[in-house]
């Protein structure tokens, strides 16, 4: 159950961060088409890179750092926009990609890292063993993560209309933090569990 909670929280968190960022960068870039294209490109492209490199990065550190960055993101963006709003559109597009690149990279790490730890590959298992270990759980993992990704935009819209987009970002940060504290212990491989640990 805790494994599904972990992957569900990741589904909620990704969209709860993405949607407020779209809104903030529409104001910064001055055109919804530019903002949607640039923000989605940056987040999805760099999250893909994060997924590719996920085996080499400690996901617990990543989740903790990502939560802190997102919590302070409204303040960071406010100052950044004030400093760079007078730049040309091309320069602002570049700034957008540079700012979102590390965030997208970190957002791409927790899901594949969770699958990797769940498979027990880090304990020396073969690829066949990893597939067998995940065979029964993968459909549920994708179902829960996908369902959360469908519900989260609706939740984000309701929260934004009621409390503002800043709170939506903070809820996204809380989801990543909750994934760190409530889900990670269940994703550790059996061979890594010792008495008293």
Strands in 30-125 per DSSP E: none
Q: Check residue 59 and give its pLDDT.
A: 87
Tokens representing 23 are 């809104």
> Looking at the whole model, is its pTM more than 0.75?
yes
pLDDT the model gives residue 104: 96
pLDDT in tens, 19-76: 999 999 998 999 999 999 999 999 999 999 999 999 888 888 999 999 999 999 999 9
Query: Where would I find the beta strands (DSSP E) of the chain?
Result: none
First to last CA, the chain: 20
So what's the pLDDT on residue 194?
47
Residue burial 143-161, b: 16+ Cβ < 10 Å; e: rest: ebbeebbeebeebbeebbe
Supply the pLDDT for residue 103. 96
Predicted confidence at residue 189, as pLDDT, reads: 46
Residues of the chain with pLDDT under 50: 121-124, 189-197
Residue 123 has a pLDDT of 46
Domains of the chain in start order, with CATH, are 2-185 (1.20.1250)
User: What does the pLDDT read at residue 138?
Assistant: 82
pLDDT at 197: 44
- CA distances to 100, 142, 178 from 4, rounded to whole Å, are 28, 9, 13
Q: Which residues contact 112 (CB under 8 A, 6 or more apart)?
A: 51, 54, 55
Within 13 Å, how many C-alpha atoms sit on residue 1's CB side? Answer: 0
């Amino acid at each position: 159950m805790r494994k599904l909670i972990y992957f569900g929280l990741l589904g909620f968190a990704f969209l709860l961060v993405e949607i407020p960022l779209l809104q903030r960068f529409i104001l910064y870039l001055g055109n919804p088409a530019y903002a949607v294209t640039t923000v989605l490109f940056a987040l999805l492209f760099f999250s893909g890179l994060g997924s590719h490199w996920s085996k080499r990065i400690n996901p617990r550190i990543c989740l903790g750092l990502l939560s802190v960055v997102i919590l302070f993101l409204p303040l960071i963006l406010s100052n950044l926009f004030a400093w760079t709003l007078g730049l040309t559109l091309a320069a602002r597009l570049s700034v957008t990609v540079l700012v979102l690149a590390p965030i997208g990279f970190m957002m791409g790490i927790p899901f594949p890292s969770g699958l990797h730890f769940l498979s027990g590959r880090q304990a020396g298992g073969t690829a066949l063993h990893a597939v067998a270990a995940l065979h029964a759980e993968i459909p549920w993992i994708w179902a829960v993560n996908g369902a959360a990704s469908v519900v989260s935009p609706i939740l984000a819209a309701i929260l934004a209309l009621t409390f503002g987009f800043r709170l939506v970002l903070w809820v996204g940060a809380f989801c990543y933090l909750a994934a760190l504290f409530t889900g990670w212990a269940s994703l550790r491989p059996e061979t890594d569990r010792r008495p008293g640990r």
